[in-house]
Amino acid sequence: MRSKIAMVIVLGLMVFSKDVFARDIQRDSTATEEVQATLKKSWFESIQLRGYAQLRYNRLLETNPDLSCDQCDKSWGDNGGFFFRRIRLVFYGQIHERVYFYIQPDFASGGGNFAQIRDAYFDLGLDQKQEFRLRIGQSKVPFGFENLQSSQNRTPLDRNDGLNSAVANERDIGVMFYYAPSVIRKRFSYLVSSGLKGSGDYGVFGFGLYNGQTANQPDKNNSLHVVSRLTYPFELPSGQIFETSFQGYTGKFVINRNPQTDFDQTEFKEYRYGPSFILYPQPFGIQAEFNWGRGPEYDPETNTVNDAPLEGGYVLASYFLKKGKDIFIPFTRYHYYKGGKKHELDATKHRVKEMEIGMEWQPHKNFELVAMYTISDRTFENSLNPNNRQKGSLLRLQAQINF
């Protein structure tokens, strides 16, 4: 009898233990899932990498080897051969719900294939939707659509002199404030990802303070530049999108000048303002920008640098044609500039009239080939070369890899 009672007790304990053990397994499993669900992404899961490289050749059908544009392309002109115009890697990511970072080095800077920082900034979202942002670091100055447009997306090989002379390399160090509603931020993103050659998201309204001496240059005075831009991409019921903008900046710039010209004055006040209009190629597109202002400019008659008026801009027409998987974008652009280039020696005097006719071919998203015929009339004069007007034409080629 006792043995039967003992057997029942043992069996009862076994059943009870089994039930408890099963519940413990379930509890442990649930706890593990809860822990795993709360684990945050590792830093390397938040960082992404992309980039592109451009190889150029500018000597075909060249009529004047003395015709060049140092700011445009250092391989343009005499002794130019195959040339890496850009080799860029972009490290970027949303490392916090309100913090985005972007670092872009270029491994083909200055024509010597050495590395140099192009962008290094982070965006701090000021609200949950990140419609209000602060951009802190070295980034593009919001002045001009084509200046903000990535060289990876732009159709002509180089930016126009008229607006690009405002900010060499388009960048500087400072703090920018940007605002755009969420729906417009998505539209800005679509205009790039769709292949319509958008400029990217620099807000509907932008305002910023920056050093003013251009990218990778230390500040040379105690005066900051101020810039502001207002833009809006309108979408018609047909789906056609056009964008209008107005921008301006002001500040004091310290030039690099020959001591023989009057080394006592190196700081000049400057300002610029102007509109932009972009009709995105769906399939026909037109792009036009112009700006006016004042700034330093070399005077060959007096061998000095004066405060002088400046003006310049361009008109670009293009057509987006898709044949199967291939994309063809024929384009033509005329651009004009009259003024000094503050970042060149003695604020070099420039007079530019240039016509370009070209075609971009994209057989797939990872490769692009551009052929562009350029007819140019350029005057660029400073104390080392006070009588220099060059005319000519040439066929320019660029192969681009996107990854």
The pLDDT tens digits of the residues spanning 171-188 come to: 999 999 999 999 999 999
pLDDT at 29 over 70: no
Q: Residue 43: its pLDDT value, please?
A: 67
Q: What are the E-state strand segments in 97-220?
A: 99-109, 114-125, 132-140, 171-179, 205-210
**4, 9, 10, 12, 138 from 1: Cα distances, Å:** 5, 13, 14, 17, 90
**pTM of the predicted structure, to 2 decimals:** 0.87
The pLDDT tens digits of the residues spanning 313-369 come to: 999 999 999 999 999 999 999 999 999 999 999 999 999 999 999 999 999 999 999
Residue % of the chain over a pLDDT of 70: 90
The pLDDT tens digits of the residues spanning 255-292 come to: 999 887 777 789 999 999 999 999 999 999 999 999 99
C-alpha span between 268 and 304 (Å, rounded):
13
Q: How large is the average pLDDT for residues 92-105?
A: 95
Q: Residue 269: its pLDDT value, please?
A: 97
DSSP-based three-state secondary structure for 345: helix
The pLDDT tens digits of the residues spanning 118-163 come to: 999 999 999 999 999 999 999 999 999 999 999 999 999 999 999 9
Lowest mean pLDDT among 17-26, 69-78, 89-98: 17-26
C-alpha span between 83 and 80 (Å, rounded):
8
Q: Which residue has the higher pLDDT, 257 or 110?
A: 257
Q: Residue 39: its pLDDT value, please?
A: 45
pLDDT at 14 over 60: no
The pLDDT tens digits of the residues spanning 375-384 come to: 999 999 999 9
